[in-house]
Amino acid sequence: MSSESTEVWTGWYRDRRGAEAIVITADGRRIATRVRGVEYAGPSFDGLRAAEENGGLPLAGCVLEWDLPLPVLTDGAAQQATLSCLLALGEALSDGSPERVDLQLTLHCGGAAYESGLAGGDFDQALDRILRQLPPGTRFGRSFLEGAEAAA
């Protein structure tokens, strides 16, 4: 994804107060979403923070879920797949950061599901775990979140 393009994914935000639909945007440099009227943005999923005028605190004590299309190429043949993402951010520590970051990715492709297992918050590491389960020579048909991975 180039820095000039913006990816948009819909998903869900859940915490003790309930659930709401959200929209996540990523432009190659930052990720952003709005939760209960407050915009959170940052360089990674586990780095989402409210703007200073809204307290500047990191997003914590919640779960984000979203799906994104991800073409998969095997021996040059493209197949459309869906990557389901589940990010659990633990309760806030004294500095406001989440006590833990758990990322789970599941690739739905060709009638099968390939899971990353818990990967801390590292998006690339989770994708690599999935890629190792696919047939040799398989690769993802595009990159995304360049410079905005969920590095823990």
Q: Quote the tokens at residue 16.
A: 């003790």
Query: Residue 58: what pLDDT?
Result: 92
Q: What is the pLDDT of residue 143?
A: 66
DSSP character string of 95-145: TSSBS-EEEEEEEEETTEEEE---BTB-HHHHHHHHHTTSPTTEEES----
**pLDDT of residue 131 exceeding 60:** yes
In this prediction, residue 14 carries a pLDDT of 98
Mean pLDDT for all residues in the chain: 87
Q: Which amino acid is at 125?
A: Q
Cβ(26)–Cβ(142) below 8 Å: no
Percent of the chain residues topping a pLDDT of 70:
90
Share of the chain above pLDDT 90, in %: 57
Instruction: Give me the pLDDT at residue 6, please.
Output: 86
Mean pLDDT of 42-69: 90
pLDDT tens readout for residues 38-53: 999 998 877 899 999 9
The predicted pLDDT at position 4 comes to: 59
What is the phi/psi pair of residue 131, to 5°? -60, -35
Closest by Cα among 5, 4, 11 to 48: 11
- Where b means 16+ CB within 10 Å and e means fewer, 27-53 reads bbeebebebeeeebbbbbbbbbbbeee
